[in-house]
Chain A
Amino acid sequence: QKEVEQDPGPLSVPEGAIVSLNCTYSNSAFQYFMWYRQYSRKGPELLMYTYSSGNKEDGRFTAQVDKSSKYISLFIRDSQPSDSATYLCAAHSNSGYALNFGKGTSLLVTP
């Protein structure tokens, strides 16, 4: 069993919709949680980083972590066609910076 599970989608939404992306994890030692955006044939780009439980907002993006349920979420408001990409959740513990990635969710925002 992978330590970070993520539904690969694809997820298709109309422009302007609110997008909800989710991951679950199994390792209780994970303390740091990230969301990366990856365009086709490119390296991942860091979108959001959260420590422990809580919410973090940055523009149209909101990241949520619920450690009690081991659930990670990313919300995208007013989605744009340029948001079409694969979104990867990742986590690591205090003991190192090697990331454990989810499989990635493919998002398509249609005009």
Chain B
Amino acid sequence: GAVVSQHPSWVICKSGTSVKIECRSLDFQATTMFWYRQFPKQSLMLMATSNEGSKATYEQGVEKDKFLINHASLTLSTLTVTSAHPEDSSFYICSARPPDGGNTIYFGEGSWLTVV
């Protein structure tokens, strides 16, 4: 079964509103989680690294005030897309690594965001 769970799987929101996506590690604690974005027929692009108990590290070109990341517990990271616009419509995926899992990195099922 899945070791990383994302919710919601699909979300449609109106332009200008905010949307929160949750990423949960199941059965293990993840001090670090990663958020990726994937546009249709494109590769996964790293948006930010989410660190439990501290600020996220954002990749160049990703607006930290627009994509708010909160990693308040060892099993949950949230991504909030604030004031969403149609160009934010994308597939958002999180990943996490079990602390004793070597280099095995598990991905969530992804969340499809459509901004209308």
* CA A79 to CA B18, docked complex, whole Å: 44
Asked if residues B44 and A8 are in contact (CB atoms below 8 Å), the reply is no
- Check: A101 CB closer than 8 A to any chain B CB: yes
- Check: A74 CB closer than 8 A to any chain B CB: no
Please judge, given known A-B contacts A41-B91, A88-B43, whether A97 and B109 are in contact too, CB under 8 Å. Answer: no
How many B residues, CB 8 Å from partner?
25
| Chain B residues near A17 (CB-CB < 8 A) | none
| Chain B residues near A92 (CB-CB < 8 A) | 103
Asked if residues A88 and B44 are in contact (CB atoms below 8 Å), the reply is yes
Asked if residues A45 and B107 are in contact (CB atoms below 8 Å), the reply is yes
Asked if residues A43 and B34 are in contact (CB atoms below 8 Å), the reply is no
Other contacts beyond A42-B110, A97-B34, A103-B42: 12, CB < 8 A: A8-B41, A43-B4, A43-B6, A43-B93, A43-B108, A44-B44, A46-B105, A97-B103, A99-B95, A101-B43, A101-B44, A102-B43
